[in-house]
């Protein structure tokens, strides 16, 4: 009898068992996803809160700085750096002390205890519970998204048997509020304080241990009524919403307020880099060096000789060339006296004898205009002598 192999059956059964276990332990359900925000609702976190304030008969605006806000207004801070700018912080503190109403959520960024020391409200923290909530593998449905908070009355003479209740969502359950100053108004559960308001100067500060007024969170639980209660909103009030969540970067601010200066600076930087960069060739294209003609060469040499030594060497050479040409055409030319030589050359070259005599004896320092005329006369006489006295091989004058 043939035995059936066991190993292949085990290998095939393991994936099957895993698939069955996954199918049995998987729950299927419908999840409703909200449509993505568009327009101003996507860029302004307080868009819905501003619309709510307007419906209740108040006005609102979004700012990046306190500016000239009236002490009778209300300021709501979310995702705000309290310690980033000491001047800005002191401006907010003076505004509250003058009568302003300040509402701050849990997204307040503070690197020190400046806010706690000024307002008297601190956020205590449960380290063990905070570690549990930071577990990224914990499913959201194991947390209660919303919690009922009750209005706490600190006035013993005015005890309300039926306090107001607010359903607040996304509370930071690892923290709670504590105050070293008398509370004007507060919300809490059976054990902890989650919303607290204290008096600071002529105004008040309200701290909420959640972020209930941004984007869609304003529609969760009782966040709308909570906004009214936290801001002490009345008809005709002006609410200023301030957030640094989408604040412009440093580069954007520099370009927005100093684009011309930045443009000029970049131009000079580019110019400096261009001037200091390594060059791949000469600054100007090289001039093509063409060969000069014989006439240009003679003219250039003559001008050089005329400039050097006042033209004496050039005049001497012209006189010597004329004597050599005349010696070849006039018999006994070397034995003639200077006056006779001049007269013989003048008759042969058909030039004035007096002018020729002056050209032959120009002096030691001839002037440029005289030198040009003298050289022209000597050269003309020499060429005339040569041309008139040329003979062919057959004895005929050419």
Predicted confidence (pLDDT) per residue in 236-277, tens digit: 889 889 887 766 677 877 887 888 888 889 998 988 888 877
User: What pLDDT, in 10s, does the model give residues 330-343?
Assistant: 888 888 888 888 88
What are 317-369's pLDDT values in tens digits?
888 888 888 888 888 888 888 888 888 888 888 888 888 888 887 665 556 66
Rounded-to-integer distance, Cα 95 and Cα 109, Å: 20
Least confident of 191-205, 210-224, 380-394: 380-394
Question: Which contiguous run of DSSP H or E holds residue 322?
Answer: helix 312-329
Q: Given this model, what pLDDT does residue 140 score?
A: 46
Structure confidence at residue 393 (pLDDT): 44
Q: Is the pLDDT of residue 309 over 80?
A: no
- Confirm if 89 and 83 have CB atoms less than 8 A apart: yes
pLDDT of res. 367: 61
What is d(CA 269, CA 267) in angstroms, rounded to the nearest whole number? 5
Residue 380 pLDDT > 80: yes
Nearest Cα neighbor of 114 from 68, 82, 148, 70 is 82
pLDDT value at residue 339: 86
Q: Which of 71-75, 88-92, 135-139, 255-259 is predicted least confidently? A: 135-139
Examine the pLDDT at 143 and tell me if it is beyond 50: no
């Amino acid at each position: 009898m043939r035995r059936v192999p066991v190993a292949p059956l085990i290998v095939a059964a393991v994936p099957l068992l895993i698939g069955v276990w996954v199918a049995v332990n998987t729950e299927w359900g419908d999840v409703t996803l909200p449509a993505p925000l568009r327009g101003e609702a996507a860029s302004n976190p307080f868009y819905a809160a501003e619309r709510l304030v307007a419906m209740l008969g108040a006005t609102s605006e979004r700012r990046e700085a306190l500016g000239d806000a009236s002490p009778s207004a209300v300021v709501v801070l979310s995702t705000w750096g309290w310690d980033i700018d000491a001047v800005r912080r002191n401006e907010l503190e003076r505004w509250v002390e003058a009568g302003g109403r300040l509402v701050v959520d849990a997204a307040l960024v503070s690197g020190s205890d400046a806010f706690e020391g000024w307002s008297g409200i601190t956020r205590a923290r449960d380290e063990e519970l905070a570690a549990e909530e930071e577990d990224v593998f914990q499913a959201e449905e194991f947390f209660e998204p919303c919690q009922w908070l009750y209005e706490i009355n600190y006035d013993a003479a005015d005890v309300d048997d039926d306090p107001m209740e607010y359903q607040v969502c996304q509370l930071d359950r690892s923290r709670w509020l504590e105050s070293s100053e008398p509370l004007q108004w507060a919300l809490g559960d059976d054990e902890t304080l989650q919303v607290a308001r204290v008096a600071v100067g002529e105004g008040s500060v309200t701290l909420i241990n959640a972020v209930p007024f941004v984007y869609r969170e304003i529609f969760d639980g009782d966040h709308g009524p909570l906004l009214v209660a936290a801001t002490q909103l009345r008809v005709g009030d002006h609410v200023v919403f301030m957030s640094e969540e989408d604040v412009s970067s440093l580069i954007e601010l520099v370009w927005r307020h100093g684009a011309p200066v930045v443009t000029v600076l970049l131009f000079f930087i580019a110019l400096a880099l261009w001037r200091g960069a390594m060059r791949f060739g000469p600054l100007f294209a090289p001039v093509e060096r063409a060969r000069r003609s014989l006439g240009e060469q003679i003219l250039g040499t003559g001008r050089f000789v005329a400039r050097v030594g006042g033209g004496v060497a050039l005049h001497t050479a012209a006189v010597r060339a004329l004597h050599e040409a005349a010696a070849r055409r006039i018999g006994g030319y070397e034995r003639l006296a200077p006056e006779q030589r001049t007269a013989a050359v003048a008759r042969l070259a058909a030039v004035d004898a007096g002018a020729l005599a002056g050209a032959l004896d120009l002096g030691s320092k001839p002037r440029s205009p005289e030198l040009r005329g003298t050289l022209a006369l000597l050269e003309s006489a020499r060429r005339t002598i040569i041309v008139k006295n040329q003979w062919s091989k057959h004895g005929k004058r050419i």
